[in-house]
Amino acid sequence: MKLFIINWGGKELGMIEAVRELKKEHRIAYWTCANIAKEVVPKEFPETVLHEHMDALHGIPARGLSCDIPPVDPELLEKLYETESLVLTMMNKHFEKKTVSERKFLYHTLVGYWDAILKRYRPDAVVFPTVPHSVYDFVIYALARRSGIRTVMMEPTWVGDRMIVMSDYLHGQERADSLIVSDSLDGLPSDLRREYELHRQAGADATPVFVRDIKRRYSGAGLLFIKARSMLTTLFAHKDFSVLPKVFSAPFKRFRPNLKKEYERVAVGADFSKPYLYFPLHYQPERNSSPQGGIFVDQILLVGTLSAALPEGWTLYVKEHPTQWLYRGFGYFSYRFKGYYKAVAKIKNVRVVPIETSTYDLTKHALAVATITGTAGFEAVMRRKPVLVFGYPWYRHAPGIFKVRSVSSCQEAIRKIINGFSISESDLVEYLHHFDAATFHGYIDRDGQKVSVLSPEENARALAGAIASVFAKSA
């Protein structure tokens, strides 16, 4: 098979070795990767077009590629309106200062280039390390799906180092209902049994390792290093020099209105004695809400939808993500604009709760948890709490998941919960057996590597094997 390998790198993780494994059975026609000159030895891949990730992100063609790119087809753009909406939102991460017109120009450039490249090389499949969310890779994904080209992607579950592999994040990995599994803890692998028992403990803290690591790294000297590195990336990789004035004005920001001050003004304590739903905001920008949230990347829209579905006397508690201000600081930006928390707090029956309120206490006393795709949803299920899901998470087949998209679907889910819906222990254990069969051990980033016992070489074989399994199913 002829493969495109997109946004795939990490020599120290075994990611490059995984491509070498794939090369034994397939032809690698095109490969985008960050720092590709350092990651990949061109002589090993003489037939492969090597494209630097940062160039691809900015719409710059692969170096040395002789290819006349025709103007983008207007009819194609019309068919990709949903993709355009998602991509323009994704640009908030790397292209926040670009105007809508500038973003559209870049988007049209990307569609034109990758449409021509896909037609020229005609790959049999496009492989992504995770759900595409870095602008150009999502354009490739959308074009490939429209053209009938197979796609493969993975997603970390953050249950240890377990991952899933799938063809499309919208449909996820199909559950093998024909698989006969036990509803007994006997035979459940030790890592999943530990996960099960962790959530059985009163007050247990199941915070994912990557969240704990972020809190550690974004403090003290680590925070200064990260900010310096971010500034250098902005200056030299993105060629954005508007960051320089911000450096000198930074000491005065504490005296200006900011996100933390606004949040604290609207936050009120939670009353666990009254009926409520709990919605923890997602960190943004990130793939968990864009693209995996679709239109609900607008979390205020989600809050409004839930509010309109609440029965009389119910409340919706909303809490900010614990790492949102660590990454971005307290300054307003596209996803948390001035007045954002005020807008949330003004919605009927909605209460913003202090950020230090325990998410596990909020989950414990809630009648249900709402999420787009967050780990809070899986944690709630493991604690036998119903979950209203607005996006496309990996755990969509778990018991207790209500897939909702509208006021009416939320009302129907809440009605079932009021009428006594519950998650049985046997259903939960049976799901974990299905989960065991559907996942593999591996990692695609350093956070995943920290919780895995696999060496980079073992990880490479695991990733290549998972990808091969998708090819085998679709053959």
Residue 336 maps to which CATH number?
Answer: 3.40.50.2000
> How far is the first Cα of the chain from the last one, in angstroms, to the nearest whole number?
11
pLDDT reported for residue 210: 64
Separation between Cα atoms, residue 415 and residue 114, nearest integer Å: 47
Separation between Cα atoms, residue 388 and residue 305, nearest integer Å: 12
Rounded to the nearest 10 degrees, what angle do helices 100-121 and 81-90 cross at?
A: 120
Same domain for 172 and 309: no
Asked whether residue 178 carries a pLDDT value surpassing 60, the answer given is no
CA pseudo-torsion sign 153, 140, 444, 373: negative
Same domain for 357 and 459: no
Q: How far is CA 219 from CA 212, 215, 296, 319, 450, in A?
A: 12, 7, 31, 22, 20
Whether residue 311 is contained in a domain is answered as: yes
Q: How many CB atoms lie within 10 A of CB 96?
A: 13
Q: How many CB atoms lie within 10 A of CB 61?
A: 17
Same domain for 466 and 427: no
Separation between Cα atoms, residue 216 and residue 222, nearest integer Å: 8
Separation between Cα atoms, residue 97 and residue 186, nearest integer Å: 55
Same domain for 358 and 333: yes
pLDDT reported for residue 208: 73
Whether residue 144 is contained in a domain is answered as: yes
pTM: 0.91
- Do 2 and 127 meet the contact criterion of CB atoms below 8 Å apart? no
Separation between Cα atoms, residue 19 and residue 5, nearest integer Å: 8
pLDDT reported for residue 213: 72
Whether residue 184 is contained in a domain is answered as: no
Same domain for 453 and 423: no
Whether residue 40 is contained in a domain is answered as: yes
- The model's pLDDT over 359-393, given as tens digits with 9 standing for 90+, comes to 999 999 999 999 999 999 999 999 999 999 999 99
Same domain for 155 and 68: yes
The percent helix, strand, coil of the chain (3-state, each to 5) is 45, 10, 40
CA pseudo-torsion sign 323, 389, 444, 163: positive
Separation between Cα atoms, residue 94 and residue 98, nearest integer Å: 9
Same domain for 429 and 450: no
Amino acid in position 250: A
Whether residue 79 is contained in a domain is answered as: yes
pLDDT reported for residue 202: 72
Separation between Cα atoms, residue 385 and residue 366, nearest integer Å: 8
For residue 255, the 8-state DSSP code is G
Mean pLDDT of the chain: 93
Q: How many CB atoms lie within 10 A of CB 264?
A: 12
Instruction: Give all strands (DSSP E) within 201-251, no chain letters.
Output: none
Separation between Cα atoms, residue 277 and residue 30, nearest integer Å: 47
Q: How far is CA 182 from CA 87, 162, 299, 426, in A?
A: 43, 20, 38, 9
- The model's pLDDT over 278-333, given as tens digits with 9 standing for 90+, comes to 999 999 999 999 999 999 999 999 999 999 999 999 999 999 999 999 877 899 99
Whether residue 60 is contained in a domain is answered as: yes
Tokens read off for 134 = 């870095």
Name the nearest CA neighbour of 149 among 124, 169, 167.
Answer: 124
- The model's pLDDT over 413-438, given as tens digits with 9 standing for 90+, comes to 999 999 999 999 999 999 999 999 99
pLDDT reported for residue 64: 85
3-state secondary structure 283-297: CCCCCCCCCCCHHHH
Phi-psi region of 408 (alpha: psi -120 to 50; beta: other; left: phi over 0): alpha
- Do 430 and 175 meet the contact criterion of CB atoms below 8 Å apart? no
Same domain for 152 and 11: yes
If residue 50 lies in a helix (H) or strand (E), which one and from where to where?
Answer: strand 49-52
pLDDT reported for residue 204: 73
If residue 369 lies in a helix (H) or strand (E), which one and from where to where?
Answer: strand 368-371
Q: What is the mean pLDDT of residues 81-93?
A: 97
The CATH number linked to 99 is 3.40.50
Same domain for 206 and 91: no
- Do 261 and 311 meet the contact criterion of CB atoms below 8 Å apart? no
Same domain for 443 and 429: no
User: Percent of the chain having pLDDT more than 90?
Assistant: 82
Whether residue 369 is contained in a domain is answered as: yes
Q: What is the mean pLDDT of residues 82-103?
A: 97
Helices (H), ranges, 1-80: 15-23, 36-39, 53-57, 74-79
Looking at the 3D structure of the chain, how many domains does it have?
2
Separation between Cα atoms, residue 378 and residue 431, nearest integer Å: 12
Same domain for 49 and 120: yes
| Structure-model confidence comparison of residues 137 and 248, the more confident one | 137
pLDDT reported for residue 220: 64
Same domain for 262 and 134: no
Q: How far is CA 117 from CA 4, 84, 121, 167, 459, in A?
A: 10, 19, 6, 21, 30
Q: What are phi and psi of 309, to 5 degrees?
A: -95, -10
Residue range of the domain that includes 113: 2-176+439-474
Whether residue 243 is contained in a domain is answered as: no
Asked whether residue 223 carries a pLDDT value surpassing 70, the answer given is no
